[in-house]
Structure 1
Amino acid sequence: MNISLPVYQHPTTTVMIDDSQSFLDSLAFQLPSQMPRKVFHDTHAALEWLRAAFRHTPSKSQSIRVNYDEQTFSFDRRTVAVDIDQIYRQSLNRQRFMLPSVLVIDYAMPQMNGLEFCQAVQELPCKKILFTGQADEKLAIEAFNRGLIDRFIKKSDHDALDHLELEIRSLQKEFFHVQSLTLKDLLTRHSYTFLSDPAMEALVEQLCKRHGFVEYYLFPNPTGILFFDINGKATLMVIETEASLMSQLEVAQDYGAPLELLTGLRELRLVPFFSDSGGMYTDAIRHDWLSYCLPAQTCFGIQDYHWALFDFPGHYLHQPFYSLAEFLRDQVDVK
Structure 2
Amino acid sequence: MALTISLFHRPGSVLFLDDDTDYLEMLGMVIPAHWQVELYSRPSGFAARMQNEPARWEADAMAQLQMIERWRQGQPLLPQVLRYWAISASRYELAQICVVDYAMPGTDGLKVLNTLLDWPGSRVLLTGQADEQIAIQAFNNGLIDQFVPKQTTDITRHLLGVLRKLSQTPHPRLNTLWRAALRPAQQSMLQIPSVAQALRTYTEQHWVEYVVLGEPFGLIGLDAAGQCHWLQLEPTASLPDLAELAGSAGLGFDAVRAVQSGQRLAAVELHQQMGLRGPVRTAPAFPLGDDGVLSAAVFTLQPADLPQPIYAYRHFLEAQGGRSVQDT
TM range (shorter): 0.7 to 0.9
Q: How does 1:69-218 map to 2 (within 5 A)?
A: 84-85=77-78, 86-92=80-86, 93-174=88-169, 176-184=171-179, 187-189=182-184, 191=186, 193-208=188-203, 210=205, 212-218=206-212
Which of 293, 296, 303 is matched with 1:307 structurally? 296
State the Cα distance separating 1:267 from its structure 2 match: 2.1
CA contact (8 A) 1:197 1:301 kept: no
1:25 matched residue in structure 2:
25
1:269 matched residue in structure 2:
263
CA contact (8 A) 2:239 2:259 kept: yes
CA contact (8 A) 2:5 2:170 kept: no
Amino acid at match of 1:97: Y
CA contact (8 A) 2:245 2:268 kept: no
Partners of 2:153 and 2:92 lie apart in 1 by 30
1:72 matched residue in structure 2:
none
Can you list the C-alpha shifts for 1:248-304, whole angstroms capped at 9, x where unaligned? 323344467532123222222220124895169x9x73xxx6xx2122211246661
CA contact (8 A) 1:298 1:305 kept: yes
Q: Which runs of 5+ in 2 are unaligned?
A: none
CA contact (8 A) 1:132 1:140 kept: yes
Q: Which runs of 5+ in 1 are unaligned?
A: 68-78
Amino acid at match of 1:60: A
1:64 matched residue in structure 2:
65
Amino acid at match of 1:224: G
Could you say which structure has the greater relative contact order, defined with CA pairs below 8 angstroms and 6 or more residues apart? 2
Can you list the C-alpha shifts for 1:229-249, whole angstroms capped at 9, x where unaligned? 221222221111235433332
Query: Percent identity at matched positions?
Result: 23
Can you list the C-alpha shifts for 1:81-107, whole angstroms capped at 9, x where unaligned? 997344454433211211111110001
SS at match of 1:102: strand
Amino acid at match of 1:120: T
State the Cα distance separating 1:145 from its structure 2 match: 1.2
Distance 1:52-1:35 versus aligned 2 partners, 3 A rule: same
Partners of 1:113 and 1:213 lie apart in 2 by 37
SS at match of 2:147: strand
Partners of 2:90 and 2:4 lie apart in 1 by 26
1:48 matched residue in structure 2:
48
> Which stretch shifts more, 308-317 or 5-14?
308-317
State the Cα distance separating 1:185 from its structure 2 match: 5.3
Deviating above 6 A after TM superposition, structure 1's stretches of 4 or more consecutive aligned residues are 79-83
Q: How does 1:6-25 map to 2 (within 5 A)?
A: 6-25=6-25
CA contact (8 A) 2:5 2:200 kept: no
User: Does residue 1:293 correspond to 2:293, yes or no?
Assistant: no
With structure 2 as the length reference, what TM-score do the two structures score?
0.84
Count of residue pairs the alignment pairs up? 318
With structure 1 as the length reference, what TM-score do the two structures score?
0.82
Distance 1:82-1:204 versus aligned 2 partners, 3 A rule: farther
CA contact (8 A) 1:131 1:155 kept: yes
